[in-house]
Amino acid sequence: MRINTDLVKNKRYNTSITACLLKHSQEFRVLATLRYLFPDKYNAMVNGEAPDLQDCANSIGIEVTAAVKEKDMMVSRLFSELNKGTPKEIEKRKKTIESSGYTFVPPKNKGVAISVSGTTDGERFFIQESIKKKIKKLPQYRETFRTLGLAIILPEIPTTYAEQHIPEWISEVLGEMECSYDFVYVISHRFCIYYDAHKNSLSKHTLSNEESTSLITIGRMTAEGALSLSDVEWL
């Protein structure tokens, strides 16, 4: 992949992605990350439905999810629609966002951003719950794909403690399940962890801020139709 083209480097967003495209943006971000880090392994993988990412030639499917609180998901939806509707509706959304523990802050570029007050707790719970929620879909996927994986996006930068214990948390929850994924990726702004459920082994790849920002941008641009998988950024 060519993640540092002028098109990507010069792209700036002043608003959040719309709620209806958020999931697709996350899926393309995962696909971009995997193609970038493991080009020989995932160059044939594309986006699909049930599971989200598919390599039919090699019978590999990957489901994508995010480890996030329901409250944070609600706030994200409200923020994506912040400037829509009447002034009264906009003000109502702002109050709901602020009452949920978020504050409005000016980002480096134009526009507005939100930041949660304090620290995020329950990292272990949300990572494990994101796996449990997706386990129930495995039987139907096994009918079509021989190898199945799960990719978990961490929307916020995790604590050092969480980063060190993520493999342990994954192993713990998969060990409780009658059926489980063959592998799990955990993708953060600064790393990509790969966990092999059969070998109980892991590997970790560090991402720089520039790499992560470019991969997120490519994911969003593709979800919004500004890029396609045939463009040079994906090749």
In three-state secondary structure terms, 43 is coil
Strand partners, 55: 60
Least Cα distance to 13 among 155, 111, 116 occurs for 111
* CA 149/CA 137 separation, integer angstroms: 12
Instruction: Indicate if the pLDDT at residue 120 is higher than 80.
Output: no
Q: Tell me: do 204 and 225 sit in the same domain.
A: yes
What domain range includes position 220?
A: 6-68+120-234
Task: Give me the helix-helix angle, 87-99 and 70-80, nearest 10°.
Answer: 150
Domain stop point among 116, 149, 174: 116
Q: What is the CA radius of gyration of the chain?
A: 18
CB 192 within 8 A of CB 185: yes
Q: Tell me: do 112 and 209 sit in the same domain.
A: no
Least Cα distance to 154 among 2, 33, 41 occurs for 33
Give residue 38's pLDDT.
96
Least Cα distance to 166 among 131, 142, 199, 133 occurs for 131
pTM: 0.80
Q: Is residue 156 part of a domain?
A: yes
User: pLDDT of 171-223, one tens digit each?
Assistant: 999 888 877 899 999 999 999 999 999 998 999 999 999 999 999 999 999 99
Q: Tell me: do 52 and 129 sit in the same domain.
A: yes
Q: Tell me: do 39 and 154 sit in the same domain.
A: yes
CB 131 within 8 A of CB 125: no
Chain CA centroid to CA 103, Å = 23
Indicate the pLDDT class of residue 76, thresholds 50, 70 and 90: low
Tell me which amino acid residue 46 is.
V
User: pLDDT of 13-36, one tens digit each?
Assistant: 888 788 789 999 999 999 999 999
